[in-house]
Amino acid sequence: MKIGMIALGCAKNRIDAEMMLKQLEDNGFEICNDLAECEGVIVHTCTFIDPAKSESIEAILDAAAYKEHGKLKRLVVTGCLAERYRHEVLTQMPEVDACLGSRSFDKVVDALRADTVFEEYKPLSCCPPEYGRILTTGSKSVYLRIAEGCSNHCSYCVIPSVRGEFIPRSYDSVMDEARLLAKNGAVEINLIAQDTTRHPDLCRFIRDIAAIESVHWVRILYCRPEEISDELLQTMAETQKCVPYIDVPLQHASGRILKKMNRSGDDKSLTDLIAKIRRVLPKCSVRTTFITGFPTESEEDFEILCNFVKENRFANLGVFPYSREEGTPAGRMRGQIPEDLKQRRADLIMEIQHDLLPETNEPLIGTTVEVLCEGAGDDGSYLGRAYFQAPEVDGKIIFTCDRPVCEGEFVPVTIESYREYDFYGTASFPQE
């Protein structure tokens, strides 16, 4: 039986999809990329914000069309949308044959083999399923999830209701997977969770994964600002293989808005945090995200955010207009901001960030940085990333080399120019 998959959402969602692919392979299914030839299709969904929900629904409907124009017999919906809307998916989309909640993707084989409608929603208090993975990012740069769920309960966020409260993976489980990933060729391991900094063994993971001989880079993603401890920064500083890169979604800088978001801090305390990060890790690349147009956000609040971005000069930055999500405290708040104003404010933040790029990028011109090669381009050049670029979300290094370069190889590249977030250069190996 040929099975196809449409996987949406974040890196954490991707890992669930990879576990399902492994289950399919182990049970004799043929994984097929041509949906028109598939007898079964899995749509692994996201529902973090409204655009993600719309994309998931569109993907389900697109897949369902193959029941008429292809060979499709079983359509299975999994992931966050399936958890959030549970029985509604089946009642409102009769084309769907099975629905599995966030903790139930280990039942994907049963869902495909069932003769009738199939659904399962394990309690979110259950430990997440653990299974082998078929890596979809290649074997060289990989994600390693160290926890599931989130207990922060930001007022705008649906994650606790669709992924559950924070549940850390055990030290042994994480390290066993890290060693297996390294054995299979991983040279960069990216530690992820909804809240990586809450895991009590994070510093231990950094040290012990870095001690694996074949691992060259360890990277931490999704850090909660108030949990970036002195111990974490010192561990990063002392661990040579831990890249000086921190992904810390700040969401806003106005203390008033952050309080309404059920988050802590203000522009001063967050500026102090970033200064401390850069003091302990002088070359640290700080990436963040912001939300514009949160309920009651005033011009004064927005001005605080604008000034904060100008003052702190982030290497990489993303902005999302606030998405009003049903079932969240923020969704019930008065003072909702018009959609056009949310978007206009998001665009203004990105304009500020764009105008600051020369200050952050030009000092890199003429320097030589270590680059992880991710493959060759169509024009004979190569694509890769430096330590200040996380996979999928940041820019690339595009470089030329006078000898062949393999995927997963680390190459010294002298940077010669940049365009937006991408850099261009030439490999410069030392003379032998």
In CATH, the number for domain 2-120 is 3.40.50.12160
Residues 181-188, mean pLDDT to the nearest whole number: 95
Judge if pTM exceeds 0.85. yes
381-388 — which CB contacts under 8 Å span 24+ positions?
A: 382/411, 382/427, 384/411, 384/413, 385/141, 386/413, 386/423, 387/217, 387/243, 387/244, 387/245, 387/285, 388/245, 388/285, 388/315, 388/316
| DSSP assignment letter at 251 | B
Average per-residue pLDDT for the chain: 93
| DSSP assignment letter at 114 | -
Query: 375-401 pLDDT, tens per residue?
Result: 988 788 999 999 999 998 999 999 999
In CATH, the number for domain 365-427 is 2.40.50.140
Residues 367-372, mean pLDDT to the nearest whole number: 95
299 pLDDT higher than 80: yes
Distance CA 147, CA 164 (A): 11
Q: Give the whole-number percent of the chain exceeding pLDDT 70.
A: 99
Q: Where are the domains of the chain?
A: 2-120, 141-360, 365-427
Query: 207-235 pLDDT, tens per residue?
Result: 999 999 999 999 999 999 999 999 999 99
Distance of CA 297 to the CA centre of its chain: 27
Residues 148-152, mean pLDDT to the nearest whole number: 93
Residue whose structure tokens are 């978001």: 261
CATH classification of 141-360, choosing from 3.30.200.20, 3.30.2130.10, 3.80.30.20, 3.40.50.300?
3.80.30.20
User: Quick one: pLDDT at residue 432?
Assistant: 54
Residues 178-198, mean pLDDT to the nearest whole number: 95
Query: 396-427 pLDDT, tens per residue?
Result: 999 999 889 999 999 999 999 999 899 999 99
Residues 147-175, mean pLDDT to the nearest whole number: 94
* pLDDT bucket at 69, cuts 50 / 70 / 90: confident
Contacts of 421 (CB under 8 A, 6+ apart): 316, 357, 394, 395
Query: 327-343 pLDDT, tens per residue?
Result: 899 999 999 999 999 99
User: Quick one: pLDDT at residue 205?
Assistant: 98
